[in-house]
A and B are shown apart, each in its own frame.
Chain A
Amino acid sequence: AQSVTQLGSHVSVSEGALVLLRCNYSSSVPPYLFWYVQYPNQGLQLLLKYTTGATLVKGINGFEAEFKKSETSFHLTKPSAHMSDAAEYFCAVGSTGGFKTIFGAGTRLFVKA
Chain B
Amino acid sequence: DSGVTQTPKHLITATGQRVTLRCSPRSGDLSVYWYQQSLDQGLQFLIHYYNGEERAKGNILERFSAQQFPDLHSELNLSSLELGDSALYFCASSLRTSGSTDTQYFGPGTRLTVL
Which residues of A line the B interface, CB within 8 A?
Answer: 32, 34, 36, 41-46, 49, 51, 90, 94-103, 105-106
Contact = CB atoms under 8 A, between A and B. Distances in A.
A45 B98 CA distance: 18
Query: Main SS of the interface on chain A?
Result: loop
Nearest to A90: B43
A25 B100 CA distance: 14
Contacts of B48: 99-100
Given A43-B90, A43-B109, A94-B99, A101 B104 contact: yes
B108 A42 contact: yes
Contacts of B108: 41-43
A106 B43 contact: yes
Interface of B: 2, 4, 42-43, 45, 48, 55-56, 58, 90, 92, 98-109
A43 B101 contact: no
Contacts of A42: 108-109
B90 A101 contact: no
B10 to A, nearest CB: 11
B45 A95 contact: no
Main secondary structure of the interface of B (DSSP, over half): loop
A44 B109 CA distance: 10
Nearest to B91: A43
B43 A100 contact: no
State the 10 A-B residue pairs at the shortest beta-carbon distance, nearest first.
Answer: A43-B106, A94-B100, A98-B100, A99-B56, A44-B106, A32-B101, A100-B56, A105-B42, A103-B43, A94-B101
A103 B109 CA distance: 17
B103 A97 contact: no
Contact of A44 (B90, B98, B99, B100): B90
Contact of B99 (A43, A45, A99, A105): A99
Contacts of B42: 103, 105-106
